[in-house]
């Protein structure tokens, strides 16, 4: 996207997206040192939140921890469902950008009543209910978001979780390379044919790993393009959903598995007429938005390339990116 073009830069949503590379660059990886000790001691780590505060941050944390071979058990679910669980032996971490999300505050208060002493949280807003309900909290450096769709806070929340892994295992995150790659992901010029296909699609599917990237972009699609969307985990797109797919629908695949691309082409493109677009660090057999690879921080860059695509689609459709008609900044406030 042309970052100087006023048709993009006039939106608060785009400005907040463009602040994200510097958030990566300046992130304080030491701020979770005490939390990391408590989480390692517990050996069990439960992450909760609602919507964008959980989907990417928590699932990317689990994905990265498994790649690293972490011995800490990790899980995530929404906060209302989590109240049905026995979490007394788990370190529990709630995320609420506003600090006022009802479900999370209720869960943390419920745990406090049980004298649970490993209740952690992060929020972009000081002096909020989630902080009162926690033993220890982190205030995100990104500041308040004016757009309804959360963006920069999503990436920073993800980094907070990853910093726990760094403080426990000392793993290497290519921070400067990731910040530069994030800038490139937002600036990359996308083929107008790709934008037109997505804009004309009645539904947009996102397929990829269960690390929160595709699933989070599924949600952003609703908020930014006002289109219906779905998330197809892993290779689910090859296991039955083709029965209800139609010509002209679009699947955006994040870093597709090389072994499955030919089957996707045969089953979905050739037989049905579905459009497949890839976001990938490598060339693919599909129209591809190519981005740099930065190791463990690849998911952040993939997410931002998806933002770039959705912004261009939304603008092409004449949508006010900052003001959805129905969606609210705080989905369910206490």
The residue behind tokens 């002493």 is: 117
To the nearest 10°, the Cα dihedral for 187, 313, 254, 252?
-150
The superfamily CATH assigns to domain 176-316 is Glucose-6-phosphate isomerase like protein; domain 1 (3.40.50.10490)
Class for the domain spanning 6-173: alpha beta
- The candidate with the shortest Cα–Cα distance to 281, out of 260, 246, 254, 308, is 254
Q: Is the pLDDT of residue 325 over 80?
A: no
Residues of the chain with pLDDT > 90, as a percent, come to 90
Q: Is the pLDDT of residue 77 over 90?
A: yes
Q: Is the pLDDT of residue 329 over 60?
A: no
Please answer whether residues 247 and 218 qualify as being in contact, where contact means their C-beta atoms are separated by less than 8 angstroms.
Answer: no
Residue 311 pLDDT grade (very low, low, confident, very high; cuts 50, 70, 90): very high
Quote the distance between the C-alpha of residue 243 and its chain's center.
Answer: 28
Residue 230: per-residue pLDDT: 98
6-173 and 176-316 share one fold:
yes
Domains of the chain: which residue ranges? 6-173, 176-316
User: What's the whole-number mean pLDDT along residues 238-262?
Assistant: 97
Please answer whether residues 92 and 119 qualify as being in contact, where contact means their C-beta atoms are separated by less than 8 angstroms.
Answer: yes
């Amino acid at each position: 996207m042309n970052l100087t073009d006023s048709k993009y830069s006039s939106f608060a949503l785009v400005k907040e997206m463009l602040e994200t590379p510097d958030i990566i660059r300046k992130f304080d990886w030491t701020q979770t040192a005490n939390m990391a000790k408590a989480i390692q001691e517990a050996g069990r780590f439960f992450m909760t939140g609602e919507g964008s505060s959980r989907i990417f941050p928590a699932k990317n944390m689990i994905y990265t921890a498994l790649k690293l071979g972490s011995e800490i058990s990790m899980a995530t679910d929404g906060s209302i469902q989590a109240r049905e669980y026995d979490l007394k032996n788990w370190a529990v971490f709630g995320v609420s950008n506003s600090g006022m999300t009802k479900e999370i505050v209720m869960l943390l208060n419920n745990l406090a009543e049980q004298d649970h002493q490993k209740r952690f949280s992060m929020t972009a807003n000081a002096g909020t209910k989630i902080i009162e309900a926690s033993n220890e909290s982190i205030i995100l450096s990104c500041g308040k978001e004016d757009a309804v769709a959360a963006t920069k806070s999503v990436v920073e929340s993800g980094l907070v979780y990853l910093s726990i892994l760094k403080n426990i295992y000392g793993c290497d995150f290519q921070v400067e390379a990731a910040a530069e790659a994030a800038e490139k992901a937002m600036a990359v010029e996308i083929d107008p044919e790709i934008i037109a296909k997505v804009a004309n699609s009645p539904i947009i599917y996102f397929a990829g790993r269960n690390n929160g990237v595709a699933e989070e972009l599924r949600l952003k699609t609703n908020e930014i393009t006002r289109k219906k969307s779905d998330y197809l985990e892993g290779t689910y797109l090859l296991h039955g959903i083709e029965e209800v797919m139609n010509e002209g629908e679009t699947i955006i695949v994040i870093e597709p598995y090389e072994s499955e691309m030919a089957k996707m082409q045969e089953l979905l493109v050739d037989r049905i007429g579905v459009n497949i677009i890839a976001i990938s660090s490598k060339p693919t057999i599909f129209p591809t938005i190519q981005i740099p690879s930065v190791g463990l921080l690849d998911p952040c860059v993939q997410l931002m390339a998806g933002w770039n695509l959705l912004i261009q689609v939304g603008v092409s459709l004449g949508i006010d990116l900052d003001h959805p008609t129905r969606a609210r900044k705080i989905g369910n406030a206490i």
